């Protein structure tokens, strides 16, 4: 008489188990999301169903939006970030790459760097970060290395997003820290800032090009 199979054996030979093993190499390469580490996303229209986002989180994201507007006024890509504990703001930042000619001066990287100095501790486990754009690989890595407790971002980044869109660095269990990540917070407002900025930039480029053509001798 064959021994009764246990629950593990049943899971192993079930259709779900077979599919899970089939796609395991893709998940390990980061080419397919792992349902166990799925990033929570939502729009601000559905906050009532997500108790993870509080009124304080919304206020901090709105502050990050104001910082992004300051960046835009300096002809920087409008991204702002706030590091906070409860209702207390620890540090803020916005993009400064053009002003500093420094490729690492992204908003959230500046903010977490300032927060570590302010708290005299590089471990930011008790901190939340609100940033208007999904962090890139560099900044997502900083969230992991800085042991950030919670990360909230606004607009997704189809060209460099490393929390959910292109990569899932902050959810990678091979790393030694995984912050809580909530995307899509006030996403429409955050995305509109970027759309308006790049629309104006394209218009300025066209105007300069047209002006140069007018000045050319006949």
- CA 156 – CA 136 distance, rounded (Å): 10
Strand arrangement of the beta sheet that strand 88-94 belongs to: 40-41, 180-183, 150-155, 128-133, 80-85, 88-94
DSSP states of 9-22: HHHHHSHHHHHHHH
Q: Of these residues, 76, 108, 134, 189, which one is catalytic?
A: 108
Contacts with 15 (C-beta within 8 Å, 6 or more apart), sequence order: none
Output the CA–CA distances (angstroms, integers) from residue 50 to 39, 58, 212, in the order listed: 13, 13, 53
Q: Establish whether 76 is a catalytic residue.
A: no
Write the DSSP symbol of residue 32.
S
Query: Beta strand pairing status for 88-94 and 80-85?
Result: antiparallel
Closest by CA position to 160, among listed 137, 178, 189: 137
Residues known to be catalytic: 108
């Amino acid at each position: 008489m064959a021994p009764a199979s246990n629950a593990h054996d049943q899971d192993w030979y079930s259709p779900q188990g077979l599919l899970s093993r089939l796609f395991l190499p893709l998940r390990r390469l980061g080419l397919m999301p792992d349902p166990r580490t799925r990033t929570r996303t939502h729009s601000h229209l559905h906050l009532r169903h997500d108790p993870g986002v509080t009124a304080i989180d919304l206020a901090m994201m709105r502050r990050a939006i104001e910082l992004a507007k300051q960046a835009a006024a300096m002809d920087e890509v409008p991204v702002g970030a706030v590091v906070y504990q409860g209702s207390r703001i620890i540090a803020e930042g916005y993009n400064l790459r053009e002003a500093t000619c420094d490729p690492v001066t992204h908003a959230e990287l500046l903010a977490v760097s300032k927060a570590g100095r302010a708290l005299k501790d590089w471990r930011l486990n008790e901190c939340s970060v609100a940033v208007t754009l999904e962090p890139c690989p560099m900044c997502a890595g900083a969230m992991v290395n800085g042991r950030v407790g919670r990360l909230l971002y606004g607009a997704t980044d189809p060209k460099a997003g490393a929390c959910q869109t292109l990569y899932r660095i902050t959810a990678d269990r091979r790393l030694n820290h995984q912050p809580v990540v909530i995307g899509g917070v006030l996403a429409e407002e955050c995305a509109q800032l970027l759309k308006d900025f790049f629309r104006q930039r394209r218009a300025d480029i066209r105007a300069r090009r047209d002006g140069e053509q007018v000045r050319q001798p006949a």
